[in-house]
Chains A and B, each alone.
Chain A
Amino acid sequence: MNRSWLLWAPLAVTACIGGLATYGLVVPKDEQVRSAMIGQKLPEFALPPATQGVLPLSNTDMGDGKPRLLNIFASWCIPCKAEAPQLEALEAAGVEIDGIAIRDRPEDVAAFLDEFGNPYRRIGSDSEMAVQLKLGSSGVPETYVIAADGTILFQHIGDIRTEHVPMLIEKLKATR
């Protein structure tokens, strides 16, 4: 039997590994873990208010016929401070924003809102990250577009930059 083709197999394997390694070097690694909940209904949850004077948040507060944003933040998270002006801008554009504060203390949330403004309609406190887990969220800050019927439409990972504001407004409009 002629097995001469077999002699070239190691070279072929090397070429495959080389190709794969080159791919790994050239294509930037996607470190983000996206939620697999996009396109699904919000999971059930009911969170207590994150600090005095704000309203609590449960899944039934959203999906009440109006699309809105769900912003996951924390007072101890630095990018969350950076995105505060963009949230203000969104609120000014008439967008309703609900917030979930992750692993936070009431007094810290209050100080955060005092310093950076309060664009939120409601803020729930997720002190044990349980709701974050249910949402398939992997960090702070993250922003979700929630449809009028409570479906999760879109996940934005990281802080909202100025260029993201029109994009988010567009997504909200498209759901109507």
Chain B
Amino acid sequence: MIAEAGLAALWLAASMALIQFIAGLTLLRACNGLLVPLIKPAAYVQGALCTFAFFTLMWLFYVTDLSVLLVANNSHIDKPLIFKLAGTWGNHEGSMLLWVTILSVSGSAIAFLEKRIEAKTLSATLAVQGFLALGFFAFLLFSSNPFERLVPAPIAGAGLNPLLQDVGLAFHPPTLYFGYVGLSIAFSFAVGALLTNQVGPAFARAMRPWVLGAWIFLTIGIAAGSYWAYYELGWGGWWFWDPVENASLMPWLAATALLHSVSVLASRNALRAWTIMLALVAFAMSMAGTFLVRSGILTSVHAFAVDPERGSFILALMLLYTGLAFVIFALCIGTVKQGEPFQLLSREGGIVANNIFLSVILAVVLIGTLYPLAAEAVGDKISVGPPYFNKATVPIAVLLMLALLVGPLLRWRRDDLGRLKYWFIGAAAILLMSCLAIWKCAPEIGIFPLLGIALSIALAVAAWMPLRGRKLLRTPAPVFGMVIAHFGLAVSVFGMAAESGFSSETLTALAPGESAKVAGWEVKLNDVNPIAGDNWVAVEGDMVAAKNGNEFVLHPQSRHFFTPPMQTSEAALLTRWNGQLYAVIAQPDQEGDGRWQVRLWWKPFVTFIWFGALLIALGGAIALLGRMFRPTKKLARNAWQAE
């Protein structure tokens, strides 16, 4: 009965979305807003019903109700509780239910909280949101019903994909979903504002927290995914420019650009059409990302829940939403007036540069990812991989960081070079000195790691400059947020550059008792033992790493899973403040000689990559909280002080 109740709630929620959409249509002049009063209540009820349906499914996983197909396929009576619960979204149907639940609850939240924009714009936004939700409900109910029954019920259940039995990975997909849904809200706001011709600062302020929130989740999601790939794939890489990774990076790039342009719109009433455009693109990218991951049209190591039929459903939804939105954009953007003027050398100018660089990186990643498919269509079989993406995007990222050294220090509307000349000289000096110093210490370093380290040092200083001359206690939280996020970027880039420039590698084969050296560490293989887990067996290396008289125990594993058969490496990581020792044990080397393949890396400052990403997200969170707890009136006054 419980499953049926959940299903009924879903159908009712879908009808609420339909009401939301139809009532929104009556905003058209001919209907005189006949049904508009229904919109808000429908949004509340939709949110409540979806929440109910989601917790129903969670309950079914909690009690392991094996008469439900989804539970039987993805759970097991013996599984630890945390993974039983994570099983709710660790599969296609459940993750789609999570998606619509977040979407509906966010809709309720807008209906309840949003007071800044005109009632008509809010109604249009909620109608668009209802239209989006309707598509996902159709997807859920017609092609991926999570509450389908299984007759007869099995006794034990099939178990969750072994790779998903990892705490990090159990929470990775929902994190990205929060991000994607946040971008869908931004999309609804953009279309609503476009339709009611209200593209201005009020709209920007209403949309900003959703963009910021989405961006925080995407940042954390990507960082977590990268760290997972780093310790699980066993070759020390943390970013492979794999299609699935690119699919998660593209919405982040769009959201980052949007985050900056929306602040121009909010405080300076400029970049109106461009901000709308970015909001549409950001959501389109999150749909495209979901499509790429689920359809399996591109070959990837991380493919998840691949199913071409569902892929085509997502594709149809993506084309419907994005296509309609771009038609509305083309028709309505003419009515959006030109924003406030500004000069090239101004804060706006800096943000335009930021937006151009980020958009070009986004376009390069998108084109590079789809290029093999396009080439295949004309009969060419080519691969586009890390060497291309690195060479094509890193120079643009260097330009972006150069712009970042100056951009946040510029004044709105217009600024003059004279005012900032000391900073220009200072920044150039820091860059030059760092380049020379690094080059002196390591003359063989590549150009990109060299520039990366020098730029990150300069940026680590530049990031704090906007606080100069401010009374710290009276500085608004968003400024602190910006400073911390930019500093986080410097930290992360430093980690990337140091890792790619200065990693040491030792590939060897050791018999128990032998040892190998890497970057001043002496790693001894004491023993190799077989061990067993719930659904895997492994060989585990018993290693001791020693440096300067300190000794640390390492236990890398090479795991074999049975169902489905697959092999994973669990690298042993030894974290020091200045880097990580990364140890892997692989196969026996040659038959019968008793030696095991061992791979060792010393990766200087590699942890800074993810630590920096967390700082970036923290900066976002500070800005978000600062905006949420600030009275609206004061915010509006501050924003217009420049006038």
Contacts and interface: CB of A to CB of B under 8 A. Distances in A.
A binds B: yes
Interface in A135-154: none
A172 B618 CA distance: 68
Interface stretch (A9-17, A54-62, A68-76, A111-119): A9-17
Interface stretch (A23-31, A79-87, A160-168): A23-31
Contact of A24 (B298, B319, B323): B298
Contacts of A29: 296-297, 299
Interface string B277-302: 10011001000100100011111000
Interface string A87-113: 000000000000000000000000000
Contacts of B299: 29, 31
B628 interface: no
B364 to A, nearest CB: 14
A17 B288 contact: yes
Contact of B297 (A8, A14, A24): A24
Contacts of A25: 295, 297, 308, 311-312, 315
Interface in A19-52: 20-25, 27, 29-31
A10 B280 contact: yes
A7 interface: yes
**Range, interface on chain B:** 20 to 34
B233 interface: no
A108 B606 CA distance: 46
B330 A14 contact: no
Nearest to A19: B377
Nearest to B591: A105
Contacts of A23: 373, 377
B315 A22 contact: yes
B374 interface: yes
B326 A10 contact: yes
B345 interface: no
A14 B377 contact: no
A11 B291 CA distance: 18
Contacts of B297: 21, 24-25, 29
Given A7-B334, A10-B277, A20-B374, 12 more contacts: A8-B330, A10-B330, A11-B326, A14-B284, A14-B323, A15-B323, A17-B370, A18-B319, A20-B373, A21-B297, A23-B377, A25-B297
4 smallest A-B Cβ distances: which pairs? A24-B297, A7-B330, A11-B326, A10-B326
27 contacts: A7-B330, A7-B334, A10-B280, A10-B281, A10-B329, A11-B326, A11-B330, A14-B284, A14-B322, A14-B323, A14-B326, A17-B288, A18-B315, A18-B323, A20-B370, A20-B377, A21-B297, A22-B315, A23-B373, A24-B295, A24-B297, A24-B298, A25-B308, A25-B311, A25-B312, A29-B296, A30-B376
